[in-house]
Structure 1
């Protein structure tokens, strides 16, 4: 995101040179793809009747920000409900828990399919992209276990608002474009999701000029992507007022740590049918569990009467420091996951994984999220995973299903403690036993993406924009230059890049600057895929000359889309989330790059 050239062209996997943050405005997606179907891109307009040339299917999901009881659910093709060209293909009413079942009549064509939900009072409007109509039709009856975006939420609504603000057309939306959107606009989508949730759940008031949450989301996205100095988080803060800033900080981490929304941030429309993405065998599972301190089911406030009366989220409960999980797990041909010591169990359907893990300290976590292939060269050597007993014994089938020793998987998951429901982020890998991470190999990808961060011309170094979430570091943006090393990563401050470079700042406080002490993330012999820096100091300086300092530990797991920042005083686990860069590129399978 924030680049001179349309980032969605990167789905073609063409390398690109580092770009200046000052050239932030995006080219329209439709123009970049040489498609001009402008009739489907604007607001307003009517909705057509059900397309008679179609077949029936059953779709089950939920309308969830907090659950929206009795929401009106409408499925449309071509565009969301009320947009020009949209065609209604199914309707339903959600129950008291926000759950719905739609009998949809879907055309057997590649037109995009959307799910739309409206609260009974009309103030909360949410939308989701589900992929192509023909793919959903071919899959038959589906639930959110196969298609995450059947949960119509603030995340799915934010993603579409950012897509349109960056120049996209609903009619031209494809799974490939949507995957690129989630990856390259990750921080904008997360920030906008927090703004929608803040209003829909009544933590902050919706400004009077907006009809509903969808109207507000599109305007925040438009303002946030319209100029060099803005961001979606800055735009959300300006729109909702400073009394909402604390909620936005916490809600960004809340969303990325919830098992309902973590898959939507990475997988979204991906239709998970057929064989699991992880080949059968025995693996080393190495990961970091980071409790957010926030309850999965907070007490909802009374909707405030004005922005000034915005109610804050409940104070976080006591938070444990990040926990390290190191276990041996087996995956069978049906995607079932287990460990001999009982510390992990779950299932993977396509790339969508659900997992229950015990950290060995009396805490059990229920998690969900994405599993993707780590790039070639990230995993070196090791023992090729032996096929599990449920794998067919014939040489042909066994050989085909056993990955080579260089194949590993990155896991990006959110969830909660089984007791107490504390939301938790889980970043992990599934890799061959006794393998080693090729941290230094990441340098070969350094010229492809830098998210507009200026790192000069140092060979092998690349830029990463890290946006803080959580009460402690929320809104703080670090412009970091990363140099891969054999044992991990060295991070240093990025070079200034002119006015409005939009990193090394505080999105909530224009004019404030943010810096950090250069640090090294290093691994250990027992968990080589997990990096840690024992002391990282972050300093925020306001224009008035006042400054504040945070000191904590930083963690990073290979393939993760965030770095975990843990402070002791106050006790807090924050996340620094990233857009696509050489660290976090994951493939859905060997033949298809997801972004």
Structure 2
């Protein structure tokens, strides 16, 4: 059973780290394995920011390579595309297993937590289709850097602790990931006082923790200070790049690691409702040349803006996890679910997408089988007294267009047909407040990504309503991280109160939007950003679309984004 851990460095944490690390080592991890454990496991994955050719891949138990307590159990050299396959002998114990990668020049060092040794033995054969962290990347490296910076111990690392880490430190992990990718892929130069990307990531995480004791400097601010202001624009875009990629999106959310065994979604026919938002960034065919100095950081490739689109479809999920269906606009939808890992292909008349990410169970009570009357405003509506709870699922996915490779975020739900969201069943009390003071509702820290709003932080108080959720600014007594620009903390950020409400109650009631959101940054000059905000029940971000850009405001754990692995296994 997964239980919650805290963000141990912040004063608003759920509980101290020592208590988190006291979680039972018998905590279940992602559908587990099944079958009789063997003496070895076959692993295949990749070393990727861009593919790192001929990287040395080392599998260790106990701790990452070079750390106290590490035992090497296998070594292999990746091929020219960064791919590797290795068979390793593992102990049939709960000791944690790590995959480590080093580039031929020693400058790119990455590591990944793979789960417990016994679970890997039980699975036998593992690849990124059932263990996403076998792609050793900037995300997996950043997560471990934040874990250790927060006082974590490798010996006490379990799938339950890792799941809570991803949820509660989501924005910091994303920021450190962007810094690693900026250097590993040649967008920005590595500072002269750092030898490799792993050491740099640990330094950024540690600096954030140290600063957090006094002025709550975020990991993004620490990354900016480390890489220099010329890298800021790339950091803004790389955070959104990572959150919209079908390789790294699963790694940002799938803390339970091994994805196999029981399919998370019960067989049946569902309504698929979601928002597709192209990031405006295309994945380059090859990384740029490493800049000679921090003043020569190249720009992320940009594509033509496409406004967010709404997908409304009827789909079926069979007992094997196969997904198929079609949307109201004629798009075809196919995919698979392996444990909590979902892949989708959406093909329409004008565009086609390949997507991957997490599917999880919405909390009990969020989905209703009743038929309430449609609300007449964002603050009114009536609900049937005969409402009954039913099961729905949240999807957090990233991917790309099949033509042009434009990175794309997809937030969606998979819910029983004719069901309706019960927004007022979202609890308004919480124990993980992100340092925000709210007279009503609960605090939500929203960190912007992308060219337009990257680094802007909105400290909001969220109040569920019958038709959606209203957001207003947290009080002025909140933590200094509440409303600022992480790239320039001498500025202040504010926004007008807005109500996220249903735009199409008949076909997509789980999708909310607010058409007139205004964000103002005030420093030596004043800049105003106007656009439309979208939110889908259970999503970990809100999509902010302006006339020139689609951005994401990502969140740490709060009542809006609660998700379960299965009905009986809580994710965080």
Normalization by structure 2: what TM-score? Answer: 0.90
Q: Secondary structure at the match of 1:583?
A: helix
2:499 corresponds in structure 1 to 520
The answer on whether the counterparts of 1:287 and 1:326 sit within 8 Å (CA) in structure 2 is yes
1:118-142: CA deviations, max 9, x gaps?
Answer: 0000000000000001100110011
Indicate whether 1:551 and 2:530 are aligned. yes
Indicate whether 1:497 and 2:486 are aligned. no
Instruction: Give the superposition deviation at 1:33.
Output: 3.7
The answer on whether the counterparts of 1:60 and 1:142 sit within 8 Å (CA) in structure 2 is yes
Q: Which among 282, 297, 316 is matched to residue 295 of structure 1? A: 282
The answer on whether the counterparts of 2:21 and 2:152 sit within 8 Å (CA) in structure 1 is no
Q: Which among 468, 474, 491 is matched to residue 454 of structure 2? A: 474
Indicate whether 1:565 and 2:551 are aligned. no
1:380 corresponds in structure 2 to 368
1:396 corresponds in structure 2 to none
The answer on whether the counterparts of 2:90 and 2:117 sit within 8 Å (CA) in structure 1 is yes
1:372-403: CA deviations, max 9, x gaps?
Answer: 000011000069xxxxxxxxxxxxxxxxxxxx
Instruction: Give the superposition deviation at 1:297.
Output: 2.7
Q: Secondary structure at the match of 1:149?
A: helix
1:387 corresponds in structure 2 to none
2:566 corresponds in structure 1 to 589
Instruction: Give the superposition deviation at 1:171.
Output: 1.1
Change (3 A) 1:342 1:487: same
1:15-44: CA deviations, max 9, x gaps?
Answer: x9xx99983699873465459xxxxxxxxx
The answer on whether the counterparts of 2:38 and 2:121 sit within 8 Å (CA) in structure 1 is no
Instruction: Give the superposition deviation at 1:13.
Output: 5.0
The answer on whether the counterparts of 1:469 and 1:575 sit within 8 Å (CA) in structure 2 is yes
Q: Secondary structure at the match of 1:505?
A: coil
Instruction: Give the superposition deviation at 1:535.
Output: 1.0
2:85 corresponds in structure 1 to 101
2:513 corresponds in structure 1 to 532
1:436-460: CA deviations, max 9, x gaps?
Answer: 1001111x2523432221112x2xx
Instruction: Give the superposition deviation at 1:567.
Output: 0.2
Q: Distance in 1 between matches of 2:127 and 2:408?
A: 24
> Any gaps of 5 or more consecutive residues in structure 1?
1-9, 36-52, 384-403
Q: Distance in 2 between matches of 1:535 and 1:370?
A: 30
Indicate whether 1:258 and 2:241 are aligned. no
1:318 corresponds in structure 2 to 304
The answer on whether the counterparts of 2:361 and 2:392 sit within 8 Å (CA) in structure 1 is yes
The answer on whether the counterparts of 1:453 and 1:463 sit within 8 Å (CA) in structure 2 is yes
1:218 corresponds in structure 2 to 202
- Within a 5 Å distance, the mapping from 1:176-195 to structure 2 comes to 176-195=160-179
Q: Distance in 2 between matches of 1:207 and 1:100?
A: 30
What is the count of residue pairs matched by the alignment? 535
Change (3 A) 1:296 1:382: farther
Indicate whether 1:343 and 2:332 are aligned. yes
Q: Secondary structure at the match of 1:467?
A: strand
1:85 corresponds in structure 2 to 69
Q: Distance in 2 between matches of 1:536 and 1:382?
A: 31
Q: Which among 441, 458, 464 is matched to residue 484 of structure 1? A: 464
> Any gaps of 5 or more consecutive residues in structure 2?
24-36, 372-387
The answer on whether the counterparts of 2:428 and 2:463 sit within 8 Å (CA) in structure 1 is no
Change (3 A) 1:247 1:90: same
Indicate whether 1:364 and 2:352 are aligned. yes
1:197-235: CA deviations, max 9, x gaps?
Answer: 000011111111111000000000011122233010000
Q: Distance in 2 between matches of 1:26 and 1:125?
A: 32
Indicate whether 1:331 and 2:310 are aligned. no
Indicate whether 1:278 and 2:265 are aligned. yes
Q: Distance in 2 between matches of 1:102 and 1:150?
A: 11
**More divergent stretch after superposition (297-306 vs 240-249):** 297-306
2:232 corresponds in structure 1 to 245
Instruction: Give the superposition deviation at 1:319.
Output: 1.6
1:352 corresponds in structure 2 to 341
Indicate whether 1:67 and 2:51 are aligned. yes
Q: Distance in 2 between matches of 1:229 and 1:449?
A: 16
Q: Distance in 1 between matches of 2:19 and 2:558?
A: 24
Instruction: Give the superposition deviation at 1:471.
Output: 0.3
Indicate whether 1:123 and 2:104 are aligned. no
The answer on whether the counterparts of 1:477 and 1:503 sit within 8 Å (CA) in structure 2 is yes
Q: Distance in 2 between matches of 1:13 and 1:293?
A: 35
Q: Distance in 2 between matches of 1:32 and 1:406?
A: 31
1:511-570: CA deviations, max 9, x gaps?
Answer: 11000011011012121000010110000001x3x10000000000000000000001xx
- Within a 5 Å distance, the mapping from 1:115-194 to structure 2 comes to 115-194=99-178
Q: Distance in 2 between matches of 1:299 and 1:532?
A: 37
Q: Which among 210, 213, 236 is matched to residue 223 of structure 2? A: 236
Normalization by structure 1: what TM-score? Answer: 0.87
Q: Distance in 2 between matches of 1:405 and 1:229?
A: 40
Indicate whether 1:455 and 2:438 are aligned. yes
- The Cα RMSD (Å) is 2.2
Q: Distance in 1 between matches of 2:232 and 2:225?
A: 9
Q: Distance in 1 between matches of 2:420 and 2:12?
A: 38
